[in-house]
Amino acid sequence: MYILGVSAFYHDSAACLIKDGEVIAAAQEERFSRIKHDADFPTESVQYCLREAGITAALIDHIVFYEKPFLKFERLLETYLAFAPQGFRSFLTAIPLWLKQKLFQKRLLIQALEASLDESIDWSKRLLFSEHHLSHAASAFYPSPFDSAVILTLDGVGEWTTTSLAIGKQNSIKVIKEIHFPHSLGLLYSAFTYYTGFKVNSGEYKVMGLAPYGQPIYADLIKNHLIDIASDGSFQLDMQYFDYASGLRMTSEKFHQLFGGPPRPPESVITQREMDLAASLQAVTEEIVLLLAKDAAATTGERNLCLAGGVALNCVANARIHQANCFENLWVQPAAGDAGGSLGAAFAAWHLHLGKPRPASRGADRMQGSYLGPKFSDDQAALDLQEAGAVFMQRRQTDMIDQVAEALASGLAVGWMQGRMEFGPRALGARSILADPRSPAMQKQLNLKVKYRESFRPFAPAVLREHVSEWFDYDEDSPYMLMVAEVRKSKRLTLGAGDATLEGFDQLALPRSSIPAVTHIDYSARLQTVHEATHPLFHRLIKRFYERTGCPLLVNTSFNIRGEPIVCSPKDAFRCFMGTELDLLVIGNLVLEKTAQIEAPAGNYQAAYTLD
């Protein structure tokens, strides 16, 4: 039986196909459309899923949408009534869209399915609807390696729920606690994202990366005025300080007065104030998440915890849970945001709606390393590159690995495209930019000359699982880059007497360890442990780099530039390669050197498809 899960119409639309309870394919629409956080119906993602399964649309038994539109409309109306007449302007802006489009989302879904799949099929008989946070919970529990677990979901808002606590046992999920809109940890984080000058629903991770540069001097102000936190982690916001429930922006004038001025204009200079605000917000977020986790462990007696929802992408908060040892095991859905709702919706239909049993735990999760997107053969890639006018050479795999390891050891930056694309926001060695972590200049170089983004942004290490404890205070799996750990003291460098007085971005110039490109200023690193079983080629490359340098890890960042989605196809990869200062591009066994492209006649590149 085939079940197609779909998330769409808010942000990060995606599709996922499962067959008899096993994931066949999943992808975000942005990777195909090249529109970051694309919210449209995921036509291309759906079609990709069918191609990957080798089936026609007629074989889809159920299509499951990840939330219930009517409940969202109910929230809009009730919120307006609760805040009237304050929210009248916002209501006038939103209601025409709802009446014209979103209120009739079932009809729109059916029309989209007819247009993208098969208009002769009566899709209304195959269409199901999950609830937003149930989709998150299902995405967290059903693919996890646990037979039973606590499931904690935290995000902005679904229909009404913003935070939920559930128990998963075998094929069942039972919700036991919820926090409802407008009280939301995700929206609190988004409010500060807006206030510090970043874009809501995409800049929250920038705030997390900015936090170590500041001090949490506003944490008490946040807790005394903005949010009331109970001992079990439940919370209530004082809505006088926020405008998202009734207005057209995240924060109110009272919020601005409390923190001493208006929001930072986007793209303006980041000051110590923004750094301290980020540090304060992060401290409060970690406190709440930790309280929720501890209470869940105490009240349920469960020893396993699963996380999903946008807040679950906060790897620093995840690390706080791990360090507290309130649970024996922690698993975070790699596509924790709304894109992962498509996967959760499909699983919810299979296990909850149809009552199908769940396979017993095999000690590993069911996400296949999250490598669930499309792949391209060397022959397919060669045709695309020839069409683009690229100069490339096909190498034997062993020779390709040697060349890339040598290039990395020489300080070159490499675009790396291998196998199936990752599902979720993190590049995990399939669509990655790789570099030498030992270089003191690499962090700044990659940010400014390759990624074209803010210089303060940290990079993650991809480390061989068998060597992780030699370099970090951590000795467990972290395959999805959703956990932070500190660099071991034995790998740290001694700072000078005057270095400790540096503040803000001045701290960036100081190498803090023997792997400075992946060591944040607080000595933390966002870990990806690389396992031979799930990504043998990436493991092999890092192992070869280790043999060459004695360092069993690489800088791993997503293969894209600021404002663009991660690359999907060979054409995407070549375009990004040519638009940045990357030195080498590797697609399968095809190797492209930047100097060869530059030396070729402009606009008339000659393809060199030869096996050396």
In the structure encoding, which two tokens stand for residue 438, read together? 């030992």
Which pLDDT score, from 0 to 100, does residue 221 have? 98
| Count of helix runs (H) and strand runs (E) in the chain | 20, 21
Q: How far apart are CA 87 and CA 357, in angstroms?
A: 46
* Mean per-residue pLDDT of the chain: 91
CA–CA gap between residue 133 and residue 136 (Å, rounded): 5
Record the tokens describing residue 397, joined without a space. Answer: 């795999």
- CA 373 – CA 568 distance, rounded (Å): 8
How far is 25 from 343, CA to CA, in rounded Å?
9
CA distances from 517 to 411, 435, 524 (A): 12, 9, 11
Give the closest residue to 589 by CA, choosing from 403, 429, 449, 442: 403
Q: What are the beta bridge partners of residue 463? A: 529, 553
Q: How far apart are CA 132 and CA 310, in angstroms?
A: 12
Cα separation, 405 vs 545, whole angstroms: 5
d(CA 558, CA 567) in angstroms, rounded, equals 9
Is the peptide bond between 552 and the residue preceding it cis, with omega within 30 degrees of 0? no
Task: Give residue 91's identity as a one-letter amino acid code.
Answer: F
Sequence-ordered alpha helix ranges (H) in 158-271: 185-195, 204-210, 219-221, 253-258
For residue 250, give the DSSP letter.
Answer: S
The dihedral region occupied by 429, where left means phi > 0, alpha psi between -120 and 50, and beta the remainder, is left
For residue 390, what are the contacts with CB-CB under 8 A and spacing of at least 6? 574, 592, 597, 605, 607
Domains in the chain with CATH codes: 2-142+336-370 (3.30.420.40), 179-331 (3.30.420.40), 378-599 (3.90.870.20)
Q: Express each pLDDT in 14-69 by its tens digit.
A: 999 999 999 999 999 999 999 999 999 999 999 999 999 999 999 999 999 999 87
Check residue 263 and report its DSSP letter.
Answer: P
Q: Which residues of 143-161 are buried (b: 16+ CB within 10 A; e: fewer)?
A: bbbbebbbbbbbbbbbbbb
Please, what is the Cα angle at 547 between 546 and 552, to 5 degrees?
A: 15
pLDDT at 87: 56
Q: Cβ contacts of residue 92 below 8 Å, gap of 6+? A: none
Cα Rg, the chain, nearest whole Å: 24
Burial class (CB in 10 A: 0-12, 13-18, 19+), 248: exposed
Give residue-wise pLDDT tens across range 345-386: 999 999 999 999 998 877 899 999 999 999 999 999 999 999
Buried b (16+ CB within 10 A) or exposed e, 271-301: eebbbbbbbbbbbbbbbbbbbbbbbbbeebe
DSSP single-letter state for residue 488:
P
Tell me which DSSP letter residue 409 carries.
H
CA distances from 135 to 58, 161, 361, 413, 498 (A): 24, 12, 21, 38, 51
Q: How many CB atoms lie within 10 A of CB 118?
A: 13
The pLDDT of residue 454? 78
d(CA 592, CA 385): 10
Q: So what's the pLDDT on residue 497?
A: 61
Instruction: Report residue 61 as tokens.
Output: 């038994």
pLDDT at residue number 190:
96
Name residues of the chain where pLDDT drops below 70. 70-104, 247, 497-501, 599-612
Residues 6+ apart with CB under 8 A from 295: 231, 232, 233
Q: Which residue is listed with tokens 């540069």? A: 213
The 3-state DSSP class for residue 239 equals helix
Tell me if the pTM is above 0.85: yes
DSSP state of 595: H
What pLDDT is stored for residue 555 in this prediction? 97
Answer yes or no: are the C-beta atoms of 13 and 339 closer than 8 Å: yes
Reference 318, options 372, 282, 351; nearest CA is: 282
**Cβ-based burial of 224 (10 A; exposed 0-12, middle 13-18, buried ≥19):** exposed
